[in-house]
Amino acid sequence: MNKRSKKNGFGSLANPEMFLNQDFQQLQKYCIERQLRYIDDMFPPNQNSIGQVSLSPSQLARVEWLRPGKICQSQSPSFVVDGVSRFDFCQGVVGNCWFLASVGALTFQSQILQQVLPSEHSFSAGIFHFRFWRFGYWVDVVIDDKLPTIDGKLIFVRSKTPNEFWPALLEKAYAKVCGSYADMNAGTPSEALVDFTGGVHICFQLDSAVPDLWNTMHRAAQSNSLMGCGTPQGETSANNISANGLVEGHAYAVTGVTQVISNGQPINLVRLLNPWGNGEWIGDWSDSSVLWQSISAEDREMCVDVADDGEFWMAMEDFCRFFSDLDICCLCPKFLDGTTSSHWTPLVYESRWVAGTTAGGCLNNPGT
């Protein structure tokens, strides 16, 4: 970003920067007037845009980039079907659970979601755009709707509804920002949470969690914050599934915080979502736990869903025991004070990392 951009007012949510200088309005108008379908030459439908993902050479040779109308030939493609939900999608072959967990959290905040997913799009012209907050500025990212498939099936994120395409198109736009689909492999929820909101990110290490962390999470949920978390890495880099049903080295979305009364005692619960779309915790307060019989029928009706949809409850104590960190992202961290009367003033310092003189560190090594 340059000083001219800031001076002219670009980079705000109302007037975002054009990512790679691509103007969505002009490109869409050009395609519609000429009855063309857009092909993005800045993120073309080829191997470079996919990158080095975990597909064999024979699989890569079979990759075909198809538009939504060719993927779901029996139905007309839709951007959203019956609203946007955290249950809409399942992760594909790239290891971007951190991104999809953040998307799951994003679906709870309709106002923020509308900022990221503008309503303007066109299947007839094959052009879409999305907005992300990147390094102090909002950017508008234009993509075409050609999606990588093998045998007609999406190889990256897919919707559980065959003719719904907002998850796949959102993922493609973010892959373009990152450089390729492969460049989304491995990350932390905090990265995507900030890029979706432009908000303040706070990380809590759960092995040294403060005693009132559940109260902080409860206030954060009421303050329209987005929350994600992760499990510790196992002995290998693979996403092994532990005996308790949790995936090692995996990102989850925090989708609920509540308290129930069990046998006369208050129990603090946290609800989590596995972005794989299946695979759940099988310990206390899981879907099939007998502990649900110890609470009121009303609370049980509100909380329990036995579907294998990747979402489950667990006690706060188990959450802190089996998860390593919690990310909370919000537009204003007033929930930390436990009061709405506090006022926060944002300060922005602009600078840059210069190759050879300074270095930007990895979030996996925050100390250095």
In angstroms, the CA 244 to CA 274 distance is 14
In angstroms, the CA 104 to CA 85 distance is 8
Q: What is the mean pLDDT of residues 276-290?
A: 90
In angstroms, the CA 365 to CA 272 distance is 25
List the domain boundaries for the chain: 3-186, 199-337
CA gyration radius, the chain: 21
Specify the higher pLDDT residue, 220 or 344.
Answer: 220
Q: What is the mean pLDDT of residues 154-161?
A: 90
Q: What is the mean pLDDT of residues 111-130?
A: 89
Specify the higher pLDDT residue, 12 or 28.
Answer: 28
Q: Which of 134, 131, 155, 151 is nearest to 142 (CA)?
A: 131
Predicted confidence (pLDDT) at residue 6 exceeds the cutoff of 60: no
Sign of the CA dihedral 133, 136, 140, 145? Answer: negative
Residues serving a catalytic function are: 97, 250, 274
pLDDT for the residue 1:
39
Predicted confidence (pLDDT) at residue 240 exceeds the cutoff of 50: yes
Predicted confidence (pLDDT) at residue 348 exceeds the cutoff of 90: no
pLDDT for the residue 4:
43
Phi, psi of 332 (to 5 degrees): -150, 125
The whole-model pTM stands at: 0.85
pLDDT tier at 3, thresholds 50, 70, 90: very low
Token duo for residue 76:
């007309």
Which 3 state secondary structure label does DSSP give 30?
Answer: helix
pLDDT tier at 365, thresholds 50, 70, 90: low
Is 3.90.70.10 the CATH classification of the domain at 199-337? yes
